[in-house]
């Protein structure tokens, strides 16, 4: 999912919600999320959740609504999100069983 390789992907189990959890070890400033789903297995309503500290307090800097396509989609945050931990939550899916398949996930921003 992070290699930009069409031969690798992340697959969720069935059911909603599903999520991807990332720990950056240090605080970063997130500006943009780029994601490429497999068509038919895309998130319909997605939510970013970030924590700048120990993970006890989470903010929700952005909801986004991807299209059900195979191409890379870009979602810019209205302001940079200061995060150490990030969850990308897929509240529902285009797949009947709630599965998500991601071929590319790219996070753009800056180190603190």
Please state the pTM of the whole predicted model.
0.92
Domain 10-111 has CATH 2.60.120.260: yes
Q: Beta partners for 88? A: 20, 48
Q: Residues 33, 34, 40, 44: what is their CA dihedral angle, to the nearest 10 degrees?
A: 20
Q: Which of 34, 27, 21 is nearest to 105 (CA)?
A: 34
In the block, which residue shows the tokens 């800056």? Answer: 110
29-45 pLDDT tens trace: 999 999 999 999 999 99
Structure tokens at 5: 């390789």
Higher pLDDT, 5 or 49: 49
Cβ neighbours of residue 26 closer than 8 Å, sequence gap 6 or more: 84, 111, 112
| Tens-digit pLDDT profile for residues 45-98 | 999 999 998 777 899 989 999 999 999 999 999 999 999 999 999 999 999 999
């Amino acid at each position: 999912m992070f290699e930009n390789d069409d031969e690798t992907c992340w697959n969720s189990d069935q059911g909603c919600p599903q999520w991807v959890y990332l720990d950056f070890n240090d605080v970063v400033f997130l500006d943009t999320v780029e994601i490429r789903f497999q068509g038919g297995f895309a998130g319909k309503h997605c939510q970013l959740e970030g924590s700048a500290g120990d993970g006890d307090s989470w903010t929700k800097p952005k909801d986004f609504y991807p299209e059900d396509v195979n191409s890379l989609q870009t979602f810019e945050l209205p302001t940079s999100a200061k995060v150490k931990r990030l969850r990308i939550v897929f509240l529902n899916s285009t797949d009947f069983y709630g599965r998500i398949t991601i071929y590319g996930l790219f996070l753009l921003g800056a180190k603190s």
